[in-house]
Amino acid sequence: MQARVAIVTGGADGFGAAISDRFRQEGYQVIIIDIDRKKGELKASSGSNLNFLLGDVTRKETWNEALALARAKFGRLDVVVNNAGITGSQSPVHTKDMEEYERTFKINVRPIFCSAQCLVPFMMEQGHGVFVNITSTGCTRPRPGFAFYNSSKAAVSVATKTMALEYAPTIRFNCIAPAVGNTSMLKASIGSGPDSLDRLQKIEDLLPMKRVTQPVDIANAVWYLATDQSSFVTGTTLEVDGGRGV
């Protein structure tokens, strides 16, 4: 049987690395798209069915290259996971500059548009496909200081729901909303000094489950939404947040 194929953006680190590993372990051919060559090549070296594509997911050219790779090497494309994104600095709106605002929407929202534009026609012709887009609990439980991060992730959620209606029943579109995750972005936020554990404890205390989201939590949720286990699920946002959104 021909192996199924998944594209994972930001697949070299954090949530993306765990998602890539889950698909690899399940026998998928995985195309990791990442802008970090060193991390991408290192990740791809960890499994024979991991394939690295250096690229910027805000550019349609990158998505066209990914589709060309999937078609030429594997003859199919089954799953797209739009995981790459940024948080930005925590500060009130009046202190932010236009560059940060535009960069946040460019990196968090534009890939949703570009991936659909480039890949949906192929999936429609193929007769099936799944998109899983990573959003945030910031959509429904916004934290102060992240107004436009929260807004960008809300745009991802609404676009995903709309495309679920546009392309049903052939292609399914769903979102996953993590809480704060144990990734390099969190580590950069809390630092590595003597007070970092105290800062982490304060974050964990805000979550009913008293821990941050682990990459494997997101990988397991993506696997569910990407496979036939969720064949009747489309247009939804699955909260993987330890109760943060309640």
Query: Is there a single domain that holds both residue 81 and residue 187?
Result: no
* Annotated active-site residue in 28, 149, 167, 224: 149
- Please list, in sequence order, all residues whose beta carbon lies within 8 angstroms of the beta carbon of residue 45, skipping any fewer than 6 positions away: none
Is residue 244 situated within a structural domain? no
Is residue 246 situated within a structural domain? no
CATH of the domain at 19: 3.40.50.720
Is residue 245 situated within a structural domain? no
Is residue 200 situated within a structural domain? yes
Catalytic residue check, 167? no
User: What kind and span of H or E run contains 65?
Assistant: helix 60-73
Query: Is there a single domain that holds both residue 162 and residue 48?
Result: yes
Mapped onto helix, strand or coil, the DSSP state of residue 78 is coil
Domain that holds residue 205: 183-212
Shortest CA distance to 81 belongs to which of 148, 9, 24, 142?
9
Q: Which amino acid is at 188?
A: A
Query: Is there a single domain that holds both residue 144 and residue 57?
Result: yes
Mind listing the pLDDT tens digit for each residue in 9-23?
Answer: 999 999 999 999 999
Number of domains in the chain: 2
Mind listing the pLDDT tens digit for each residue in 183-233?
Answer: 666 565 656 667 767 666 776 667 777 887 889 999 999 999 999 999 999
User: What kind and span of H or E run contains 102?
Assistant: helix 98-108
Specify the pLDDT at position 58.
98
Query: Is there a single domain that holds both residue 150 and residue 204?
Result: no
